[in-house]
């Protein structure tokens, strides 16, 4: 029996001859099979298809099963997107590769930007650390003018520091001294400075005609800002004299506003001796040099007393 199978999805027609599997017809089946195969090929060609069911057992249930598998495979292949591989695990198509490349490029660019940001942050941190280290290095050399070289304090700023008070102690410092040998009155005639030492000075403790006596003192001092006749002034006071009478602000090396640095051409200082020898003075005074200068800034002040070009007595005050 000749049957016709029509596949509308793929627009093809296939033919096959089905012979009942009866044992009485076995000889007939062997005779007719070649002819049926030829006829099926001819009919298939006439209907526009070149597909011929294969296998030596045409007409059995196995043939129908094989056609179903082929049709299913064809449908699966047709359903795949263009460029997809028919085998799982094959290399992705070009579009997927391009997207992956762009993602990789974007990731690399982001990593590069992050590295650049980290480098800039590290550079900024290094610069900030260096600035902080420079700021932490304080020049406390009282002989160096750069140890206090800020803008000079104004009268208005001094009055703000005083507020409602008539005087205030700003800072403490010990006087230091250094000397050098000079052959003339010009610095060009001088040798190098000697090592600095704390300043000490003998003060007259008794004078009785032909008899005189001296006592040597060191010079720890206070820098005092005070009002005199409504105007601010500075006084460098010996700590002993300040302890004896803190209100006696004029008993020190005095400096008035109006010049930078402020100048005192007779830098005399008072010392109070709390343990004088018998019949000796307790109220003492000494001339530190021939000229005193005070540079007072907003947070520091530097005192320089000179005797010609061969001696400097200095103090650095921070407040």
How far is it, in rounded angstroms, from Cα 255 to Cα 234?
Answer: 5
Identify the DSSP state of 290: S
175's CB contacts (< 8 A; 6+ apart) are: 198, 199, 219, 220, 221, 288, 303, 305, 313, 314, 315
How far is it, in rounded angstroms, from Cα 190 to Cα 309?
Answer: 8
Query: pLDDT tens digits for 255-308?
Result: 999 999 999 999 999 999 999 999 999 999 999 999 999 999 999 999 999 999
pLDDT of residue 20: 52
Identify the DSSP state of 151: P
Query: pLDDT tens digits for 162-181?
Result: 999 999 999 999 999 999 99
84's CB contacts (< 8 A; 6+ apart) are: 93
Residue 28 has pLDDT above 60, yes or no: no
The pair phi, psi for residue 13, each rounded to 5°, is -125, 135
pLDDT of residue 319: 97
CA angle 310, 315, 319 (to 5 degrees): 160
How far is it, in rounded angstroms, from Cα 275 to Cα 242?
Answer: 16
Ranges of each domain in the chain: 2-79, 99-137, 146-318
Residue 203 has pLDDT above 60, yes or no: yes
Query: pLDDT tens digits for 50-81?
Result: 444 444 444 444 443 444 444 444 444 444 44
The stretch 44-54 carries a mean pLDDT of 47
Query: pLDDT tens digits for 29-41?
Result: 554 444 444 444 4
pLDDT of residue 101: 54
How far is it, in rounded angstroms, from Cα 202 to Cα 135?
Answer: 40
Asked if 169 and 223 touch (Cβ cutoff 8 Å), the reply is: yes
* Helix, strand, coil % in the chain, rounded to nearest 5: 35, 30, 35
Query: pLDDT tens digits for 96-131?
Result: 555 555 655 555 565 666 666 666 666 666 665 555
pLDDT of residue 49: 47
| Percent residues over pLDDT 70 in the chain | 57
How far is it, in rounded angstroms, from Cα 317 to Cα 306?
Answer: 18
């Amino acid at each position: 029996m000749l049957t016709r199978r029509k596949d509308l999805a793929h627009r093809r027609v296939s033919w096959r001859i089905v012979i009942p599997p009866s044992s009485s017809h076995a000889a007939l089946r062997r005779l007719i099979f070649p002819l049926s195969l030829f006829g099926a090929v001819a009919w298939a060609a006439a209907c526009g298809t070149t597909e011929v069911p294969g296998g030596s057992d045409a007409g059995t249930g196995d043939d129908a099963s094989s056609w179903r598998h082929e049709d299913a495979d064809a449908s699966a292949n047709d359903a795949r997107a263009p460029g997809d591989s028919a085998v799982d695990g094959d290399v992705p198509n070009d579009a997927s590769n391009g997207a992956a490349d762009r993602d990789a490029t974007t990731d690399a660019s982001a990593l590069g930007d992050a590295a650049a940001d980290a480098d800039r942050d590290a550079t900024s941190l290094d610069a900030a650390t260096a600035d902080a280290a420079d700021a932490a290095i304080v020049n406390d050399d009282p002989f160096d003018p750069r140890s206090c070289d800020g803008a000079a304090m104004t009268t208005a700023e001094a009055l703000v520091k005083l507020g409602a008070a008539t005087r205030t102690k700003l800072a403490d410092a010990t006087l230091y001294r250094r000397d050098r040998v000079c052959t003339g009155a010009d610095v060009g005639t001088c040798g190098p400075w000697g090592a600095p030492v704390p300043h000490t000075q003998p003060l007259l403790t008794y004078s009785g005609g032909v008899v005189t006596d001296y006592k040597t003192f060191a010079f720890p001092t206070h820098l005092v800002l005070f009002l005199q006749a409504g105007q601010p002034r500075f006084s460098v006071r010996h700590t002993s004299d300040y302890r004896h009478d803190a209100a006696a602000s004029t008993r020190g090396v005095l400096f008035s506003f109006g010049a930078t640095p402020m100048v005192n051409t007779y830098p005399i200082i008072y010392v109070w001796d709390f343990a004088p020898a018998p019949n000796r003075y307790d109220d003492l005074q000494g001339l530190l040099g021939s000229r005193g200068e005070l540079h007072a800034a907003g947070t520091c002040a530097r005192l320089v007393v000179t005797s010609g070009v061969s001696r400097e007595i200095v103090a650095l005050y921070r407040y």
